[in-house]
A and B are shown apart, each in its own frame.
Chain A
Amino acid sequence: ETGVTQSPTHLIKTRGQQVTLRCSSQSGHNTVSWYQQALGQGPQFIFQYYREEENGRGNFPPRFSGLQFPNYSSELNVNALELDDSALYLCASSLGSTSGSYEQYFGPGTRLTVT
């Protein structure tokens, strides 16, 4: 059984640019959630995808968007990058609400720096 993987590990972008982060969910998991973790803070929920549909969104602007593919892997896209977008972006996979399971397993994260 493979765990959650994310790419790239690190990324440096300039303000105003766009970025795409990728996540492969744990084998057998159909739900992917994305979180943003600023330095010294706890992760903040961005959105969740369940079977290719958005299934909940946190307090993030529309320039944060996502996709989930038929193999349950996922992308997080951020447009018009701002300095405050600098953070560790975490992807978590789970079995989904219909399973009655609530454990979420995190990947290693992508560290994004916006200059």
Chain B
Amino acid sequence: DTGVSQDPRHKITKRGQNVTFRCDPISEHNRLYWYRQTLGQGPEFLTYFQNEAQLEKSRLLSDRFSAERPKGSFSTLEIQRTEQGDSAMYLCASSLRQGVADTQYFGPGTRLTVL
């Protein structure tokens, strides 16, 4: 399977704990995006990378959130001191930056539940 993969698929944690999610994009894709989706809503942009550079972060991404893409391949999203409001589906997407607009390919998501 050469699609976008995410790990874990589900994570249940207690409030105050730290969690880390991983995204493996399609191998030749140079752009990687993180989105968050709460129940009944469309996804919201969190941050994106071009190769290893993090080019933009949403205001939704508080200081408790950090994302990395150290070698321009896989990416991690860490949430420190989780809160119940962090419960959501965290989606990763990747694309190959070629022209004016790119198709983004989505992973299956990581569903986070903070108790």
Tell whether A and B belong to one assembly.
Answer: no
Residues in A lying within 8 Å of B, measured CB to CB:
none
